[in-house]
Structure 1
Amino acid sequence: MGIILHELVGTDQGRPFSPHCWKTVMSLAHKGLPFDRNRVSFRDIPKLENGYSSKVPVIRDQDQLVADSFEIALYLEDRHPDRPSLFKGEGGRAMARFVEGYSQMILHPFINVVVLMAVHNLLDAPNQAYFRESREKIFGRKLEDVAAMRDAKREAFTASLEPIRKMLLSQPFIGGEGPLFADYIVFGAFQWVRVLTPYQLFDRGDPVQDWFERCLDLHGGVAREIKAAV
Structure 2
Amino acid sequence: MITVALPKGRLAQEAARLFINSSLTTIDIIQETRKLIIEDESSNIRFLMVKPFDVPTYVEYGIADMGIVGKDVLLEQGKKVYELLDLGIGKCFIALAGPKGMKEELLNKSEKTIATKFPNITKEYFENVLGEDVQIIKLNGSVELAPILGLSDMIVDIVESGRTLRENGLEVYEKLYDVSARLIINRASLKLKNKIEVIVNHLERMVMQ
Per the normalisation by structure 1, the TM-score is 0.26
Per the normalisation by structure 2, the TM-score is 0.28
The structure whose residues are more often helix, as a share, is 1
Which has more radius of gyration? 2
The structure whose residues are more often strand, as a share, is 2
